[in-house]
Amino acid sequence: MTFSICVRERYTDGDGDDRVRYGVAVTTRLPGVGALCPFASADGAVATQSLVNVELGRKGIEYLGDGLAVDDALEALLNADEGRPERQLHGVDADGTFAFSGDECRDWYGHVEGENYTVAGNLLTGEDVIDDTAAAYESAAHGDAPLAERLIDALAAGHAAGGDKREDLDVQSAALLVRNTEEADDPYYDDLRVDASETPVADLRETYETAKRGYEAVLERYADEMDAGDGGE
């Protein structure tokens, strides 16, 4: 796998209640990364990569739902994993961050932990990929754009810095996932994948913009029915 970002953001909802949203986004020079790497819930966000063990993501989210802190949850999973030296695992919960890169990951590899985010990658052209992804997110962390859009911007910055170094692999993919602590359903455009493309980040952006436009059209067209509780598919 290549590089991903997990974030936590606090905000106030329309009723004035304090809320938290979590997001994770990833891109790689392999198909179908959205089925393997990103995991998120109302309790946190986790990304599993390098020599992928999908159970680290699935169980990580389950453990966060059970009330474990993200560092305790993910460290416990790694301690029980014989493939630990080849794993990358990182994530956030309501209070903390965690990032791990095994010493048998393939160069360039590494990670960073910010106040409310983590970024990790392997098989990259260099450290700039991670640094630029983090910088892009930090510069827009308090902006008005939706989190999903800002996650795509962060991926784009890492891709522009070099991204995955395996230039002989044309079929690539990207994905994003955003969840929050509100009771209302998350918008459809907060869970998107581009499974096979030569331009995954650009296609993810186009998919996001199209899905967002479609979602807003549904809200406008069926506003009365949805307010009455009849907004079916």
Q: Which amino acid is at 60?
A: G
pLDDT < 70 positions in the chain: 1, 184-188, 224-233
Element (H, E) at 132: helix 128-140
Residues 6+ apart with CB under 8 A from 201: 27, 152, 155, 156, 159, 174
**pLDDT for res 225:** 64
| Residue 27: exposure state from Cβ atoms within 10 A (0-12, 13-18, ≥19) | buried
Residue-by-residue DSSP string for 30-47: SS-GGGTSEEEETTEEEE
Would residue 169 be called left, alpha or beta, if left means φ above 0 and alpha means ψ between -120 and 50 degrees?
beta
What pLDDT is stored for residue 219 in this prediction? 80
pLDDT of residue 149: 95
* Nearest by Cα to 99 from 27, 2, 224, 5: 5
